[in-house]
Amino acid sequence: MSILKNIVIDLKKELKLKKSIIPVSEYEKMSLFARNTISMSDSIKKNNFGIIAEFKRRSPSKNEINNKLSVHEVCRNYQIFGASGLSILTNLKYFGGSLEDLALARSACTLPILRKDFIIDEYQIYEAKAFGADTILLISSILTRDEIANLSKKAKELNLEVLLEVHNNEELKEGLVEHVDIIGVNNRNLKSFKTDIQISEKLFNQIPNKFLKISESGLNNDNSIKKLKKIGYQGFLIGEKFMVSSDPGKELKKTLENLTYEN
C-alpha cells in the first residue's frame, strides 16, 4: 500500500474521533474564525517571484528535515525576507505538524497562509479557518471531481481561497471546477516521492490562464525556478530548500537575491 493511501486511511480514523469530540460550532466561536482572510493570489501577483515559503519539520520521503526551529521565528523571518505567503504542514503523524503550528504562524505575521494537509472533509475547512488559514490545499489525486467541487465551494463560503494540487493532465482535467483559485503543479510523485520539474514544464500550457499557476516541490535549484518563471509560472511553493538551513529566512533572502540577479 502506498504512503498516500496510508495517510488517507489514518486521516479518516482521526477525523471520526475529532468529530465526536469537537463539533464545528466550537470552531465557529474561535476568535480567528471571524477574521478577514488575506488573498494568497493577490499577494503572489504583487511579487516578481511569488514564493510561498513552507514550515516543514519532516516528511515521509526525508524523515526529519529540521525539528529544532520555532514556528513563530521562522514565519516572522519569512515575512521579513520577502515571502509572498506561507505554507504550514498540519499533519502530525507523517509531517510532524499541527493546527497549533498554523495558529502560531498566524500570530507571527500578516502574510496569507496555506493550510497544507490532506483535506478530504468539510470539517477540516472549518478547522483551517478557525486556526488562521487563508487558503486550503485540495489534492486532486485523492479526491473525485464532485468532492473537489463541494470542498472548494465550502471554502469559498468561508472566504478561503483554494489551491488545487495536480501531478498530471488527468488530475488537472478532474479538478478544473468553479471555485478553485490557484493550480499548483506538484513535481513530486506522491507514490514514489521522487521529484522532476519536467512535470511543471509539461503541464503549464494545459492549465487555463484564468487560474494562477504555481510550481511545487523539488525546487532546490535557483536555475530551475528561473526556468519555470520564464515559462510563465507566477508562484513557487518551497520548503525543504529553506528548512534544511539553520536560518530559513536568510536562505529565502539569498534565494530571492539570486533569482532577481540578471532576471
Give catalytic status of residue 217 as yes or no: yes
The total number of structural domains that make up the chain: 1
Looking at 70-84, 91-105, 149-163, 179-193, which range is the least confident one?
A: 179-193
Q: Which domain holds residue 195?
A: 3-33+40-260
Give catalytic status of residue 171 as yes or no: no
SS3 55: strand
> One of 127, 171, 174, 216 is an active-site residue; which one?
216
User: Residue 191: what pLDDT?
Assistant: 67
Q: pTM score > 0.85 for this model? A: yes
Nearest to 56, CA basis, from 46, 67, 40: 67
Percent of the chain at pLDDT above 70? 97
β-partners of residue 85 are 52
Cα dihedral across residues 184, 185, 186, 190: positive or negative: positive
Nearest to 60, CA basis, from 99, 91, 39: 91
Q: Residue ranges of the alpha helices (H) in the chain? A: 3-21, 24-28, 40-45, 71-80, 92-95, 99-108, 122-130, 145-157, 169-175, 198-203, 222-231, 240-243, 248-260
Cell 478530504, located at residue: 120
CATH code where residue 130 lies:
3.20.20.70
Give catalytic status of residue 54 as yes or no: yes
> One of 43, 54, 140, 215 is an active-site residue; which one?
54
> One of 91, 186, 200, 215 is an active-site residue; which one?
186
Nearest to 193, CA basis, from 176, 209, 217: 217
- Tens-digit pLDDT profile for residues 88-118: 999 999 999 999 999 999 999 999 999 999 9
User: Residue 262: what pLDDT?
Assistant: 56
> One of 87, 140, 217, 241 is an active-site residue; which one?
217
> One of 84, 91, 116, 171 is an active-site residue; which one?
116
Tell me which H or E stretch contains 63: strand 63-64
Give catalytic status of residue 216 as yes or no: yes
Cell 515521509, located at residue: 60
Q: What is the mean pLDDT of residues 7-24?
A: 96
Looking at 63-72, 90-99, 203-212, 234-243, which range is the least confident one?
A: 63-72
The span from the CA of 122 to the CA of 152, in Å, is 9
> One of 165, 171, 174, 240 is an active-site residue; which one?
165
